[in-house]
Amino acid sequence: MDPLPGRGATAPLALAPHLAASALGRRTFVKGLALLPGVFLPRAAAAEVTFRLGLVVPNEPQRESGRLMALGAQLGLDEANALAGFFGKRLELVQEVADTPEAVLAAGLRLARQERVVALVGGADDASAEALRDAAQQGDVLFINVGATSNRLRGARCHRHAFHMEASLAMYVDAVGEWLFDQRKLARWMLVTGNSSLGREVEQAVITFLTRRGRSAAAVERVAPGADEWAGVLQQVRRLAPDVVFVGLDTSDLLSFLRQYRAAGLSFQLAGVAADPSALLTADPEDVSGVWPLLWHHELQRFSARELNSRFRRRFGRSLEGRSWAAWAAVKLLGEAIVRTGGADLQGLLKYLEGAAPFDGHKGRPLTFREWDHQLRQPMYLVSPRRKGQGEGRWGSFEVVAEVPTGGDLDVIGEPKGESPCRFAG
């Protein structure tokens, strides 16, 4: 994996990145900044103070996942660097590559204790995120999770030092569930889940969602991992004739199921949570169907999303997706926190992030962390395959059909405060 060049700094929330590209000299630019409301500049141009962030990404077997995280983090660093130099601060990004939970823990501790990073960014999967959570606790630094969805990280294994840019599995389920149940009025659900950690967690999240609405699943089909023949399950679907077939399967099983579901000519509404959205989005559109929740989509246009998507595409020659967005947002937010608080004091940064300081993630609403589990409140996007011939390019087969939630309360998706076991115990 290519190493990341990691020098720079960050900018306050209210200032646009393109200002830093102005031909104005430093002195003239600083005078202009001083006229903007809410901008406070240092009294003198002292030597820049450097703050380091640690990024831990996988090499194998999730090389592509790690690269997407690294690209997002790099764009976040560049945009954070655009203005913070005028505030006497600079950020550096130090990257480590680690694949096993043990190696991730060691890398996180090395970054915290030897590189003296302010925060760790990473979590390509649930096990890696738990390891970085432990490293943050032991190294007395922040951890920003950008890839792990497990509710356990927001519940039994939560910690005050950990914050989550990636949505929880409960948020993914609730996002698609709210649209199907509340908007489409489809209330009779059948679950098809794998006998795996993902499948069990999806099943529990769906049951919890339905219970809140006074319903229960019409049927649950649990399937052993590695299934290649789905005739029995499809026969059950045809017999039950549910409003919704909700799927929680690991990636290879999911793609196999979708192909056979499509070939069987079944027309019941299909929905679910994809363990690896990129595998779903790049599959042959003739093989897939249904509606799927995403953290981000490369065709978003409103609220400066178009500009962010364009910047990423120009810089890296590829489309911005959810994990890249989360890494971009994590680095950008950390830079803002350092500028706003004036330094890298852990308690000051915790107070800032827990204080509902709004962050502009180009999603059209101010994004803040929930105080009870440190999950970022944010809207999500539901996508569905385009009809043949409508899409172009590697990521062009799916289009956004809805933003969820439709109302202003972002807490309607995800585990409610009263149900969360998180107490920030060390």
* 262-277 mean pLDDT: 94
pLDDT on residue 78: 93
Domain for residue 372, yes or no? Answer: no
pLDDT at 333 over 70: yes
pLDDT on residue 24: 32
pLDDT on residue 56: 98
Mean pLDDT over the full length of the chain = 86
pLDDT at 17 over 80: no
* 359-365 mean pLDDT: 95
289 and 387 part of one domain: yes
Question: What's the total number of domains in the chain?
Answer: 2
Lowest mean pLDDT among 142-156, 283-297, 380-394: 380-394
pLDDT on residue 281: 84
Domain containing 94: what range? 7-167+300-354
137 and 184 part of one domain: no
138 and 191 part of one domain: no
pLDDT at 290 over 90: yes
Percentage of residues of the chain with pLDDT beyond 70? 86
Q: Is the dihedral of CA 398, 277, 382, 361 positive or negative?
A: negative
258 and 392 part of one domain: yes
Domain for residue 359, yes or no? Answer: no
Percentage of residues of the chain with pLDDT beyond 90? 72
* 52-64 mean pLDDT: 90
Kindly report the CATH number assigned to the domain that includes residue 203: 3.40.50.2300
Instruction: Mark which of 354, 372, 395 sits at the end of a domain.
Output: 354
pLDDT at 45 over 60: no
Better-scored residue on pLDDT, 25 or 224: 224
CA distances from 376 to 163, 299, 363, 388 (A): 8, 22, 12, 36
Distance of CA 69 to the CA centre of its chain: 10
Specify the DSSP element, H or E, that contains 348. Answer: helix 346-354
Domain for residue 426, yes or no? Answer: no
Query: Which residues touch 241 (CB under 8 Å, ≥6 apart)?
Result: 268
312 and 277 part of one domain: no
Q: What one-letter code names the amino acid at 284?
A: D
274 and 318 part of one domain: no
Q: pTM, whole model, 2 decimals?
A: 0.87
148 and 16 part of one domain: yes
What is the residue whose two structure tokens read 């679910």?
272
11 and 130 part of one domain: yes
